Amino acid sequence: MTPKRSHKRGFFVVSMFCWVARFVMVACFFLTGCATSKQKDLESDISEKSAVVGFIKVEPSGPYFRKHQTEAAVRFIDVMNSRSGERTRVPIEANARKFVTKLEPGHYKLSRIQIGEGPFRSESQVNMSFDVPVEKTVYLGIWQLRVDPPKTVRMLQWDILAEASDWDLLVDLYPDLRGKPVVVSLPQPATTRVRLFAVAPSQPRAKYFYRR
């Protein structure tokens, strides 16, 4: 191999190495930028969510005749963002009389509620709406629920009360609520009566409630 050819080959190898190094540096720059951008977007989404607070009172509208029947309690509620269509399930702690969650600002619809009574589950489809403003603590009032005793056709009476209940205790349990302005956004209509459908133990006629 002549010295001239060896010099050309060496120059070609050095050029290729420099080109690959530049490509790797540019790729790393863009990947880092994308990751940082996604992280910032995620952090901003979390910070933009508003706290939503409500109280629950459940009582039977008549005597219970089932053996080993426990008191009715709310297990979860489903809400849907009217603009995006995104659904959020808000679980309710066992026998809890309050709930606290976080939602993005917007207009929401309450679409479903599940009532638990020991091993028994019943659900109702509802149509109530409320608004969640930006950077506010949203108070949804007291939900007074009257549940019919077990029978062929069961109804759920749902009344929304505006009065405050144990707010100081709630703030002690959730310090993040302290110092933020509170906005009352009672779900409308303030009174509704809907049918309760048994969904557990398995009910062949309740498939509607399990669709996704």
Query: Which stretch of 23-27, 104-108, 111-115, 176-180 has the lowest confidence by average pLDDT?
Result: 23-27
pLDDT score recorded for residue 35? 38
- Phi (first) and psi of residue 166, to 5 degrees: 55, 40
Residue 189's pLDDT band, with cuts at 50, 70 and 90, is very high
Evaluate if residue 95 carries a pLDDT over 60: yes
pLDDT score recorded for residue 182? 86
Residue 19's pLDDT band, with cuts at 50, 70 and 90, is low
Domain ranges of the chain: 1-48, 50-210
Residue 18's pLDDT band, with cuts at 50, 70 and 90, is low
> Is residue 42 within a helix (H) or strand (E), and if so which, with residue range?
helix 3-48
> Is residue 7 within a helix (H) or strand (E), and if so which, with residue range?
helix 3-48
Evaluate if residue 130 carries a pLDDT over 50: yes
pTM equals: 0.69
Handedness of CA 30, 35, 36, 41 (dihedral sign): positive
Query: Which stretch of 32-46, 76-90, 144-158 has the lowest confidence by average pLDDT?
Result: 32-46
Alpha-carbon distances, residue 4 vs 8, 18, 77, 152 (angstroms)? 6, 22, 80, 98
